[in-house]
Every structure is written in C-alpha cells, then in structure tokens.
Amino acid sequence: MQVIIKRNFITMRIKELLASRDFNSEVEVKGWIRTKRGNKNIAFVALNDGSIIHNIQVVIDMSRFDEELIRKLTTGSCIAVRGKLVESPGKEQQVEVHADSVLLYGTADPESYPLQKKGHTLEFLREIAHLRPRTNTFGAVLRIRHAMAFAIHEYFNDHGFYYLHTPIITGSDAEGAGEMFRVTVLDAKNPPLKEDGHVDFSEDFFGRETNLTVSGQLEGELGALALSCIYTFGPTFRAENSNTPRHLAEFWMIEPEMAFYEIEDNMNLAEDFLKYLIRYALDNCKEDLEFLMNMYDKELVSRLNFVVSNNFERITYTRAIEILEQSDATFEFPVSWGIDIQTEHERYLVEKHFKKPVIVTDYPMAIKAFYMKQNDDGKTVRGMDVLFPKIGEIIGGSQREEDLEKLSRRMKELKIPEKDLWWYLDTRKFGSAPHSGFGLGFERLLLFITGMSNIRDVIPFPRFPKNADF
C-alpha cells in the first residue's frame, strides 16, 4: 500500500504509520486535522486520514515554522507533513511524527466549519451527510461497511457461488407489493395519453412501463437455473412511505439463489452466512467495533459473540403465533393466525421469548409473494424470515414454487399477468428444478454489526421520504 511520490519520502497511511517501529525514518503523512493544541513553543496536531480510527500525533517545533502557517492549521484543514517517525514519550500513543515541513492543502474556517466542535448528535450529522465521513463514528461505520461487502464476496466465492448482475431498471414487480419508483423520460407535465386517458407508455424510452427494481430475485432465479448457485449484491429501491429506523427507500440487498436447495438447505446457508459475516467483523474490525461499543452500545461485542456461538431457533409461523397469543405482552397490532408478523412481534420472539435469533417458516400463503413454494396444506408457503435481536427481520426468503401449474394458478389468483412474466415461467417449462434463495438487507446487517440504532446512519447517503440531498 506504499506509494512512492518523491525520492526520499514514502507517503504512509496513518494505519501503517501507527504500526511502524521504524524509528528515525523519514516519513510523509497526509490527512485532515482533528485537533491542535500546545503553546507558543510547540504544537501538537492530531491528524486522521480515515485509514484507522486513531489519529497520529504531529509535533511541530514552532521556532522552525512560519507562525502564520501554523495559525491556519485548524480543525478540518488538510495537510501533508514530512518529518521523522519518533517513539512517543506520551502514553496516549506509541509513535509520533516530528515535522520538518508542513504543506497546507486546504484551510477550514473555524467560524463556519460544521465539525469544529466534537460531540454532535447523530441527527445533526445526518444534516451534514457530506461531511460526516470525517467523524470517528462514520469513519468506523464506513470501514465496517467496506469490510462486510468484501466478506460477502469472499464467502460466496469460497462456496462456489457466481456473482450475477441483475438489472436495476425492470419491467416487473418481483415482490408484488407495488412500491416502485417509476423510470420514465416522458414529460411529466404533458405525457402522451391513450384513448382511455391513461399515460401511453409505449411512447416511453423502453416502449413500456419501467421501474427501479425492488429485488433481483426473479432474474437471480434465471441465473441459478443455469449456474446452480448465484448471488446478487446491488441497490434496490422501495417507494414505501416508511419513516422508520429500519427502512430506506434505497438499500443494498444480497440475494443468493440456489438450484437443488430445499428450505432446510436455505436456512442452513442463511445461518452459516450470517455467522461468517459477524465473525469476520469480530476478527477484522476490532478497533472500530470497540469504538462503537464504547460510544453507543456497551453490549455490542457480547451480542455479536453470542450470535456466532449459538444455534438459531427454528419455528413455524403457526408456532410463532401460538407463542405470541400466549404471551403476557401487550402489542399494538393484535395477534391471530393470518396476520403479518410486525416488528414488535418479531422482537418479542427474539429478545424476550427465545433470547436468540429465530428463523420463522411456513407463513400463510395470503401474506407472502406469489413465487413461494406451496405446502400441501393448501394454506401455507415455504417462506422463511430470519429475525435478529434489535433488528427484527434481517433476511426474507423461501423455497420457490417450481411447479408451472401451481405457480400459474397463484399468479391468476393475484392478478399478475402471465404476459409480464413469461420469461420467468419459461424456467418452469424448461428444466424446472427445486430451488431456494433469500435476501439479506445489507443495511440491516450493518445495523446489527455496528450497534447503530438508525438505518440512516449505516449508509453514506441515505434516501428516505423527503430526503435526497447530497
């Protein structure tokens, strides 16, 4: 990771510098000033470049520098420092840099720089999403986000899955929930109309109605029924007006899809995959996790350890409803067989009843998507949701209906036109096979791993109702 820029100087990332014991070597370091303190003889600058949660201390002997330059080294300004790496006498850090030269790349006016002071609320930082990556909290979250994305690809690559890129612009509503963002080039003020007064999308860019995808699953199934095991990992969009700490209008989803997997295989994969990712974070993001634990959530690391070392509970929807009905808790949404299990119910099952992650299977057909495999009872489908502490649903998935006749019948009942999904139905006509898959909400995973409590704080630029600035 070392980049040689000039003969004798090697620019080092602060992460490497802090680990170095190459004392008296000449180094160059670049970053943004977090704080400056000192007196008229000496200045101590805490510098951060985002490579690690910690800062490096730069020591400036004032007698060797222009006073005017040092005065401009304020919080938020960006500098390059050349100097000597020295063993630090302070107990805060083991190494520091004694500056021989300082180049000021960009000043930051203390009067107007929003991060001049520490201790801003997360709500305030959301309003300055363009600058919040420079805080310790968002540095930690963004590094963990990167590590998780990397671990996801590593896991699937190691398990023989192929990364399939499914389209962002689609003509189909995979989840059938109708919560889609339209994609159009038609003039909003004066669109072409059909005789019946409806907008004539045949004149639109694609010659039909199109939307941003809510899931890559349907196309993922096409891939699985050729490559056996695939996964998608891309942005998905939902125009649901959910102003909750667990919903985004634009979020990232990981969707593995496996030929020849039944629901049990699907559950085993989901559990193994989640545990792998959590273990990866514990092993590779230790310092960032410790920072977040100390700042926001004292239980964080013990909760992560608990989840990797215990089996998930597996119950049917029918059993879950029985447990909820028999509980003493009062719920906002009343419980009876057939209801959609709400977050409050999910959290009761996970946090109060089982005290561990729970996989709920075999949901009523009426509340699940058309593609789920129908059970012989005629009432339930082979869906599965993985429920996590603090989060509720983190994964939604199912075995898929591979029988053409059953699938067509269900689509008719739900008034999903076959002509829109003829290509999907073709897989059931030609070489159909049992198969399964699931979707993991990337930001829900990050909520769990970072211990943050609002999903808007685990994505760099959150999209939610009435918010698409930055």
Point out which residues bind Mg ion (CB under 5 A).
Answer: 396
- Cα–Cα distance measured from residue 217 to residue 223, given in angstroms and rounded to the nearest whole number: 10
Q: Which of 75, 166, 217, 361 binds ligand 4AD (CB under 6 A)?
A: 217
Closest separation between CB of residue 357 and ligand 4AD, Å? 13
Are the CB atoms for 54 and 287 separated by under 8 Å?
yes
User: Is residue 248 close enough to count as binding ligand 4AD by CB under 6 A?
Assistant: yes
Q: Rounded to an integer, what distance in angstroms lies between the CA atom of residue 423 and that of residue 406?
A: 16
Site track 418-457 with ligand 4AD (rule: CB under 6 A), x = hit: -------------------xxx-x-xx-------------
Nearer to Mg ion, 396 or 451 (CB): 396
Question: What number of other Cβ atoms are within 10 A of residue 355's Cβ?
Answer: 13
- Whole-number Å distance between alpha carbons of 83 and 257: 53
- What are 169's strand-pairing partners? 212
Among 29, 60, 108, 253, binds ligand 4AD (CB under 6 A): 253
Q: With CB cut-offs between 5 and 8 Å by kind, which of ligand 4AD, Mg ion, none does residue 251 bind?
A: ligand 4AD
Residue numbers 106-165 binding ligand 4AD by CB under 6 A = none
Find the shortest distance in angstroms from Cβ 387 to ligand 4AD.
Answer: 9
Taking the least distance from each CB to ligand 4AD, the nearer of 177 and 329 is 177
Residue with tokens 């630029």: 461
CB 454 within 8 A of CB 124: no
Q: What are phi and psi of 359, to 5 degrees?
A: -110, 120
**Contact status: 47 vs ligand 4AD (CB under 6 A):** no
| Residues numbered 222-241 forming contacts with ligand 4AD, rule: CB under 6 A | 238, 240
Alpha carbons 363 and 360: distance in angstroms, whole number = 8
User: In angstroms, what is the minimal distance from the CB of 383 to ligand 4AD?
Assistant: 9
Residues near 315 by Cβ (< 8 Å), separated by ≥ 6? 323, 358, 359, 360, 361
| Widest CA span in the chain | 85
CB closer to ligand 4AD, 31 vs 396: 396
Query: In this chain, which stretch among 63-71, 80-88, 223-231, 250-258 interacts with ligand 4AD, using CB under 6 A?
Result: 250-258
Nearer to Mg ion, 360 or 407 (CB): 360
CA distance 340 to 365: 11
Residue 356 CB, shortest distance to ligand 4AD, in Å, is 18
CA distance 234 to 440: 11
Among 49, 96, 173, 175, binds ligand 4AD (CB under 6 A): 175
Q: What are phi and psi of 31, to 5 degrees?
A: 180, -165
> Position 102: which residue type?
V
Q: Which does 362 bind (CB under 5 to 8 A by kind): ligand 4AD, Mg ion, none?
A: none
* Residue 392 near residue 346 (C-beta atoms within 8 A): yes
Positive or negative, the CA dihedral 335, 340, 343, 345 is positive
Nearest Cα to Cα of residue 236 among 387, 440, 400: 440
Among 140, 174, 278, 381, binds ligand 4AD (CB under 6 A): 174
Q: What are phi and psi of 440, to 5 degrees?
A: -105, 120
* CA neighbor of 49 nearest in space, from 84, 3, 110, 92: 3
Binding mask 255-294 for ligand 4AD (x = CB under 6 A): x---------------------------------------
Q: Which of 247, 373, 456, 463 binds ligand 4AD (CB under 6 A)?
A: 247
Provide, rounded to whole angstroms, the least separation between the CB of residue 247 and Mg ion: 11
393 binds ligand 4AD (CB under 6 A): yes
346 touches ligand 4AD (CB under 6 A): no
Which residues would be at the binding site for ligand 4AD (CB under 6 A)?
A: 174-175, 215, 217, 238, 240, 247-248, 251, 253, 255, 393-398, 437-439, 441, 443-444
